[in-house]
Amino acid sequence: MKAIIGRKVGMTEVFAEDGTMYPVTVVEVLPNVVTQVKTIEKDGYAAIQVGYEDKKESRANKPEKGIAAKANTVPHQFLRELRADEMLNYQVGDKITVDIFKAGDIVDVIGTSKGKGFEGAIKRWHQKIGPKGHGSGYHRGSGTFANNGRTNNRVLPGKHMPGHGGHKSATILNLQVIQVIPEKNAILIKGGIPGPNKSVVQIRTAIKTQLKKKTLKPLIVRNVEETIVEEEVVETPTQETLVEETIIETPTEETPVEENPVTEETPNESTSEEIPEVDTPEEAHTITVDTPEESSPDIEIEVPNIPQE
């Protein structure tokens, strides 16, 4: 028989290659450190004590620090005893990992059931309700406390009465291990297990003999991490290209600014058509004198006056 301590994470579903869906509970199983070994000669029974989840030394008391010092480890948040034949081979300081189980194993899961708060006898113990008529004086009472005249001075132990429901040790038998993931310290168990999420549970080999073997179909394996990495690599160069495009576009906006002042300085001459032909002011006088003779005598009087000024 094998056993290990873990923490319930929650429920999900996995699929087989043929489409079969398995509802599973994910249990996180961190390495269990052996802190003590109980022997029949010294303690009267054979078992090992394991610690689960590290704990700060400042938050541990002296007994916890002493147990951790003997095992050459740090204090742990939870200490549990495992009574299993196959676990007696471990020594103080050894670590028990999730790979002791494999897919297809049949296990029992022990945990603390969810607390229900204060409940009446009808809900807590499933007693029968009284008459619902208005004349009845008994609807959801606890029933008689009589004990046939024997020990009438007290209530017999085990009497079903109102009180706190749930929050008790519960065991679910014959559950199947669907998958074991040592890289993530996780084990997937088919069906639900007792206790709320984040509660500590114990997984052990089934104590009952399995007359009918449960079959397990091969599961679909998906490499989610690889696909995510590839997408990130493809997206990164696209951002660099955008930066390069912006750098190339910036000089194109500056070039028209340099040409504008050149065009604004040239229109100081009389006409825009004369600017590309005339290089010096002397040639300009000859051109202006020749054109008015062909056009009209009125212009001949005005043209010679301009160079004199």
Q: pLDDT 10s digit of each residue in the chain, 309 long?
A: 999 999 999 999 999 999 999 999 999 999 999 999 999 999 999 999 999 999 999 999 999 999 999 999 999 999 999 998 888 999 999 999 999 999 999 999 999 999 999 999 999 999 999 999 999 988 998 888 888 777 778 888 889 999 999 999 999 999 999 999 999 999 999 999 999 999 999 999 999 988 888 899 999 987 755 545 455 555 555 555 444 554 545 444 444 444 444 444 444 444 444 454 444 444 444 444 444 444 444 444 444 455 544
Q: What residue spans of the chain are helical by DSSP H?
A: 40-43, 62-70, 121-125, 224-265, 281-295, 297-308
Orientation of helix 297-308 relative to helix 281-295, angle to 10°: 160
| Three-class DSSP category at 15 | strand
Among left, alpha and beta (phi > 0; psi -120 to 50; other), residue 174 is left
**CA–CA dist 290, 305 (Å, integer):** 15
**CA–CA dist 29, 306 (Å, integer):** 105
Among left, alpha and beta (phi > 0; psi -120 to 50; other), residue 157 is beta
First to last CA, the chain: 122
**CA–CA dist 87, 11 (Å, integer):** 28
Only one residue has tokens 């003999």, namely: 209
Q: What is the pTM of this model?
A: 0.68
Distances 225 to 77, 229, 232 between C-alpha atoms, Å: 32, 6, 11
| Three-class DSSP category at 43 | helix
Which pLDDT score is estimated for 85? 87
**CA–CA dist 280, 269 (Å, integer):** 12
Helix (H) or strand (E) holding 45: none
- For residue 291 the two structure tokens come to 């054109």
Which pLDDT score is estimated for 238? 53
